Amino acid sequence: MILPIVQYGHPILRQRCKPVTEIDDSLQQLVGDMLETMVDANGVGLAAPQVGVDLRLAVVDVSHDPECISYLRVNGEDADLDSIMPLIFINPELEFGEEKESGPEGCLSIRGIRSEVRRPLDVKATLPQLDGSTLVVETDGLLARAIQHETDHLNGVLFTDRLPAAIKVAMRNRLKKLAQEFGES
Residues of each annotated binding site for Fe cation: 107, 149, 153
Nearest to 10 by CA among 111, 147, 117: 111
CA gap 114, 144 in Å, rounded: 18
Active site residue: 93, 150, 181, 184, which one?
Answer: 150
CA gap 104, 95 in Å, rounded: 21
Q: Which residues are annotated as a binding site?
A: 107, 149, 153
Q: What is the SS3 assignment for 119?
A: strand
> How, if at all, do strands 134-139 and 123-128 pair?
antiparallel
Nearest to 125 by CA among 41, 65, 56, 37: 56
The verdict on whether 150 is a catalytic residue reads yes
Q: What is the SS3 assignment for 144?
A: helix
Active site residues: 150
